[in-house]
Amino acid sequence: MTTFHVPGADLDVELSDEGGAPVVQLHGLTSSRRRDRQLNLDLGTGLHGTRLLRYDARGHGRSTGRTVPDDYRWTSLADDLLRLLDAWFPGERVHGVGPSMGAGTLLHAAVRDPGRFSGFTLMLPPTAWDTRAAKAEEYRVAADLVESRGIGAFVALNRLKPSPPAAKRLPDSLPEVSEALFPTVFRGAAASDLPDPEQIARIDVPTTLLAWIDDPGHPVSTAERLHGLLPHSTLTIASTPADVGTWPGVLRDDVAHRS
């Protein structure tokens, strides 16, 4: 484990160095490296013969953060990512993988520095563009709830929501964001969106899109729109946990074919 300083935060970073292609793995909102393993979303499990860089985003997991909502916009998280890649993989093209907020961060980084990436495996693309406003309001309501009633109220409310049919039934896990930072992190997420469609259409690297059904926070419509925009993309939609179980193999194939 290594601590890497970026403006306003210290990021907790882990490199699994087995030689080979550089890969960077991100996670979703309220998650972390550890929690993604619990949620069965750690596609880097079993990825051998690579240099795999994992880290907790600012304000998540073991990384620190401050109470500045703009720090948690996806554009700011993309700045953090590019700084990490400059430090660990200077001058190299990197394969990026991540769900939800992680996917949004990778797309913003690709718009900022198109030559930095060799390809992407983007999981569970989040609400974007036309569907983003309603989700942003949910985040602002959640921020207010935690400020007024504590993070336990948010967790209890979240447990009432049905899980997508492809999500494996797992023990309850708590958000990997502290109660003190939670409202700020969610307000930053509420102020975020994917890059403009015209910018995404210029991302000229192979991209695999992995979605699942019946998840309003990660609608298939976003993945389908991205598939239509990205010039070298494929789209797979999961309906069962067994479908999701194939995703680590998809990442292995992506890295092998694009490095």
23 neighbors 50 (Cβ within 8 angstroms): yes
**Can you list the domains of the chain with their CATH numbers?**
2-258 (3.40.50.1820)
Letter for the amino acid at 222? T
Say what the pLDDT of residue 259 is. 66
pLDDT single digits (tens) 228-257: 999 999 999 999 999 999 999 999 999 998
pLDDT at 172 over 80: no
pLDDT single digits (tens) 205-224: 999 999 999 999 999 999 99
Average pLDDT over residues 88-117: 97
Q: What is the pTM of this model?
A: 0.96
Residue 169: pLDDT band with limits 50, 70, 90: low
pLDDT at 181 over 80: yes
pLDDT above 90: percentage of residues in the chain: 87
Q: From CA 218, how far away is CA 232, in angstroms rounded?
A: 21
Residue 19: pLDDT band with limits 50, 70, 90: very high
pLDDT at 170 over 70: no
Say what the pLDDT of residue 171 is. 60
pLDDT single digits (tens) 25-72: 999 999 999 998 888 888 988 799 999 999 999 999 999 999 999 999
Q: What is the mean pLDDT of the chain?
A: 95
CB contact set of 155 (below 8 Å; sequence gap of 6+): 172, 174, 175
